[in-house]
Homo-oligomer: A and B are copies of this chain.
Amino acid sequence: MAQAAPDATLRRFSGYGMKRAFNGIQADLSATLQPFGLRMVTFSALVVIHDNPGLRQTRLAGVLAIERPNLVAILEDLERADLIARTRAETDRRAYELSVTAKGRTLCQQAMAAVVDHDRRMTRGLSADESATLQKLLRRIEGNGRTPHDRRKISRA
């Protein structure tokens, strides 16, 4: 097996290249979010709640492909930091409606700006066309992959 790189066989797989790329992204994103007291999953949740006030937890879980039990700690972290509020839905006493606080809105927007920079760093050297191509290809792969068990028919928020 005389190959140029020791991991040449693995390099043939899209999954391996993606893992390698994503590892770098994740480390940079983590460092980017750390000053805001956020991490990848709490940032994602905060942004979606920010954009969709009144969202319910089960819908949030579906949108982010996060298992509902795992959402509990995420939301607790955000609530404890006074970034979101949870109010019982009037039409269903089992459900909460999620919204950002004023503090959460501000932090969300600040973190967003930092993440825009992070993304620019990560995609340095890619043209706008290439970035769009990448997104398109990733979306196709995402559609091919296994979906979370919880990905059932999601009710409107």
Residues of A within 8 A of B (CB): 1, 3, 5-29, 31, 40, 44, 47-48, 50-52, 55, 59, 63-65, 112, 115, 118-119, 121-126, 130-131, 133-135, 137-147, 157
Known A16-B44, A122-B14: A28·B137 in contact at CB below 8 Å: no
A124 touches B146 (CB 8 A): no
Chain B residues within 8 Å of A118, by CB = 15
B65 touches A6 (CB 8 A): no
Chain B residues within 8 Å of A64, by CB = 7
Which of B3, B9, B125, B134 sits near A144, CB closer than 8 Å? Answer: B125
By Cβ-Cβ distance, the 4 closest A-B pairs, closest first, are A24-B145, A27-B146, A17-B138, A15-B25
Minimum CB–CB distance for A102 against chain B, Å: 16
Chain B residues within 8 Å of A146, by CB = 24, 27-28, 31
Known A18-B22, A145-B24, A147-B24: A59·B29 in contact at CB below 8 Å: no
Known A8-B51, A10-B48: A144·B119 in contact at CB below 8 Å: no
Q: How many copies does the complex hold?
A: 2
Minimum CB–CB distance for A68 against chain B, Å: 16
Q: List 23 A-B contacts (CB under 8 A).
A: A5-B63, A6-B51, A6-B63, A7-B44, A7-B63, A9-B50, A9-B112, A10-B44, A10-B47, A10-B48, A16-B44, A17-B134, A17-B135, A18-B22, A21-B142, A21-B145, A24-B142, A24-B144, A27-B145, A28-B146, A31-B146, A125-B144, A126-B140
